Chains A and B, each alone.
Chain A
Amino acid sequence: MIMRIIFPALVLLAAINPLFFPQWDAFLTIVFAKALPVIGIILLLQAGQVSFGHAMFFAVGAYCAGFVGRWMGGGGEIVILLVAALGASVVAGLFVGIFVVRYRYIFFAMLNLAFSMVLFSLLEKFIHITGGSDGFRIARPTFFGQQLSRSDFELGVYYLALVLLVVSIYGVWRLLDSPIGHALKAIKTNETRVEYLGISPRRTLLIGYVVSAVLAGVGGAMVGVFQGIATPDYAYWTRSGEFVFVAILGGAGHVTGALAGSYVFEFIRVTAAAYLGDTWQLTLGVVLLGIILFAPSGIVGSLIKLGNRVRGVKEKRSQSSIGKAGEIA
């Protein structure tokens, strides 16, 4: 239902949106790009693991795009920047993954956090390479070989972000339905038995981890290119926390939760910042509290439940909640 009707309909709306509400383009570009790392977080949550360090791959993607753009001169070409960011996050994901997949739960979360904070410090301290806390300027690259004006470029990035989002959501959805995806989910409930089926839990988790790192890296490159800058904050732990927050907000039981969460998160941030001044964090906190207390399966999870109730379907899946996301429709 979600993947056949609702998601395609939303994508269609997003595709025609620039014709009617071009003032939303920038907002939605950020929503789409920042949903990518959240898809990665949701993927890892299927295996019962939470990473509080995925911002490191977000930063790897953004800085990589910046470095490659500068190296190519004049900002480079966006396709090459994205491919480079993808490659860099595969390498970084493998490197960090080999260490972290040996651990579970709080140790997994904290080890990720530790790695990300190491990267944060390096980005801050190596001022002559990274620009330190001022950040690294990312010049506007060419767009599929075309030198575009700023507004055309932003429209191009909007559609590119939308395409990447659709490919990622569909890809991860398929992945979760594949044997390897089911093995990931099995790690969450009974890792011993996974081993006794002849499947390596570590290898399975490593595959999931690298995929999630790539999603975060590509998302970071898109945000960096769009905003024209990468800063060490991209790797800071609060950003990792934000990804987890958004995953829970949207619903960690379904890949589209990443889009729903990202949209609502950015919407609250923008409107609360406009109307409530500096209290937008307070607003977000209250929203998170509400979600955890009243809708632990997030926005998408609650919609699925509501849909089931309307259609009178008896709940087939077990009750899902945070850290126990069972709902895969």
Chain B
Amino acid sequence: MTALLSARDIEIRFGGVVAADGIALDVFEGDNLAIIGPNGAGKTTFLNICTGYLAPQAGRVTFKGSDLLGQSPRAITRLGIARAFQIPQLFAEQTVLENMLLAAASRAGRLAPFSRLADIPEREDAEAILHQVGCSDVKERMASELPEGKRKLVDIALALALKPTVLLMDEPTSGVASSEKFAIMDTLIGALRAQHVTSVFVEHDMEMVSRYANRVAVWSTGRIQKEGAPAEVLSDPEVIRTVIGG
């Protein structure tokens, strides 16, 4: 089985901090890959590299065999890699629905100057995604007015509206009330499966990892310390010591 997204020999350092020192990681089709590791290990940096926001000092990242490094986030998004953010990145002065429609219009290549955004044929789709993540009730609200949990979900919905092949998420449920976390992740993972979206998520909550990931990679001191099925990785004494704490 060939990897969909593949990173090799990634090296990046910020001053004296080594975030990646020979990272090799593969994402296969249909994966729900969780990346775990101590704070500041470089997990988010990895998402930044895969989406063209940062350039590593060395290494290669390929998507379906073609090189991603040197491409802009915009070009990479168009290739089918979407990203959701740890801190929600929304258009604060537009409504939730307008946020979604803009994403859908971009995906469909509808950036014509005189059609109405509200009338694009993808509207139904966009509303369905909002419904899926449980945000239909706030679609007419300004993005700036939403509570943190909803902002987080709309952020993910925006990425989903791009109909990506791969979705990269940075702590998808941080900030979401813990009573709702699992319900939301259940629908999210269900939606990803239904749309055949491969996902990678950076996560700190080990319960989330064991429930939703099919593979786990442990990122520590700039390397992939361990990789494998959640049950196996999370019970590894070394991983417990460095990441989970105990």
Q: Is the beta-carbon distance between B116 and A199 smaller than 8 angstroms? A: no
On chain A, the residues within 8 Å of B114 by CB distance are 174-175, 178
Q: Within the assembled complex, what's the spacing in Å between the Cα atoms of A192 and B89?
A: 8
Q: Do residues A179 and B112 form an inter-chain contact, with CB atoms below 8 A?
A: yes
Contact call A195/B117, Cβ cutoff below 8 A:
no
Within 8 A of A (CB), among B30-59: 51
Interface CB pairs A-B, < 8 A, 10: A175-B113, A178-B112, A185-B94, A189-B90, A189-B93, A190-B89, A196-B77, A197-B77, A197-B107, A200-B74
Select one of B51, B94, B116 contacting A178, CB under 8 A: B116
Residues of B contacting A185 with CB < 8 Å? 91, 93-94
Count residues of chain B with CB under 8 A from any CB of chain A. 38
A184-213 interface code vs B (CB 8 A; 1 in, 0 out): 011011101101111110001001000000
For the residues of A in contact with B, the DSSP-based class is helix
Q: What A residues does B105 contact at CB under 8 A?
A: 179, 182
The proximity string for B residues 84-95 relative to A, scoring 1 for CB distances below 8 Å and 0 otherwise, is 010001111110
- Other contacts beyond A179-B102, A179-B106: 17, CB < 8 A: A174-B114, A177-B116, A178-B112, A178-B114, A182-B94, A182-B102, A183-B111, A185-B91, A195-B72, A195-B74, A196-B74, A196-B77, A196-B83, A197-B103, A199-B111, A200-B74, A318-B93
Q: Is the CB of A177 within 8 A of B144?
A: no
Residue of A nearest to B161 (CB): A197
Give the distance in Å from the alpha carbon of A196 to the alpha carbon of B82 in the complex: 7
Task: Decide if A96 is an interface residue (CB 8 Å cutoff).
Answer: no
State whether B117 touches A177 (Cβ < 8 A).
yes
B116: chain A residues within 8 A (beta carbon): 174, 177-178
Residues of B close to A204: CB separation below 8 A: 111
- Of the residues A196, A318, A326, contact of B73 by C-beta under 8 Å: A196
Q: Does A316 contact B (CB under 8 A)?
A: yes
Q: Is the CB of A186 within 8 A of B91?
A: yes
Cβ of A311: which chain B residues have Cβ within 8 Å of it? none
Provide the bound-state CA to CA distance between A207 and B120, in Å. 21
> Is there a chain A Cβ closer than 8 Å to B101's Cβ?
yes
Interface on B for A, CB 8 Å cutoff? 51, 72-74, 77-78, 82-83, 85, 89-94, 98, 101-103, 105-107, 110-118, 120, 140, 142, 144-145, 158, 162
Q: Are A189 and B92 in contact (CB under 8 A)?
A: yes
Give bound CA distance, A326 to B112, whole Å. 23
Q: How large is the interface on A (under 10, 10 to 19, 20 to 34, 35 or more residues)?
A: 20 to 34
- Please give, as numbers and ranges, the residues of chain A lying within 8 Å of B89 by CB-CB distance: 190, 192-193, 196
Residue among A180, A185, A324 with the highest chain B CB neighbour number at 10 A: A180
A197–B158 Cα gap in the complex (Å)? 8
Query: In the complex, are the beta carbons of A177 and B78 less than 8 A apart?
Result: no
Instruction: Report how far A174 CA is from B145 CA in the complex, Å.
Output: 26
Give the chain B neighbours of A190 by CB distance below 8 A: 89-92
Is B117 touching A182 in the complex (CB atoms < 8 A)?
Answer: yes
Tell me whether A181 is interfacial, beta carbon within 8 Å.
yes
Q: A183: which of B72, B85, B102 is its contact (CB, 8 Å)? A: B102
Complex CA distance for A177 and B120, rounded to whole angstroms: 12
